[in-house]
Amino acid sequence: MEPNNRRCVSCRQVAPKAAFWRIVRVYPSGLVQLDEGMGRSAYLCQNSSCLAAAQKKNRLGRSLRASVPEEIYKTLWQRLAAMPVAENAQVATHSPKK
């Protein structure tokens, strides 16, 4: 069976689903939340460059076709800060495919 791959909305890297944060626009309420729920999903690498680009260029909002609350970005930045330093450095060194 093939692995369950997803693509980052920021750098477009393809990786297993577990390597990303999942942001969901829940159906039918339209609320945007992290990790759970059924509806339209967007995936984001767990590193600062992808998160910063997604926030600055509204990549999550465009992908989800909804406005992303500032609390979602705050939570993602907190998750990033809480990650172990070695893991954070390893993830941040990926290079996007051209």
The bridge status of strand 32-34 relative to strand 14-16 is: unpaired
pLDDT given for residue 84 in this prediction: 81
**Amino acid identity at 75:** T
Give 75: exposed, middle or buried? Use CB within 10 Å, 0-12, 13-18, 19+: middle
Residues 6+ apart with CB under 8 A from 5: 14, 15, 16, 17
The alpha-helical segments, DSSP class H, found in the chain are 48-56, 59-64, 70-82, 85-92
Query: Tell me: the pLDDT tens digits for 20-50?
Result: 999 999 999 999 999 999 999 999 999 999 9
> Band of the pLDDT at 90, cuts 50, 70, 90?
very low
Domain limits of the chain?
5-92
pLDDT given for residue 92 in this prediction: 47
The CATH architecture one would assign to domain 5-92 is: 2-Layer Sandwich (3.30)
pLDDT given for residue 87 in this prediction: 53
The overall average pLDDT reported for the chain is: 87
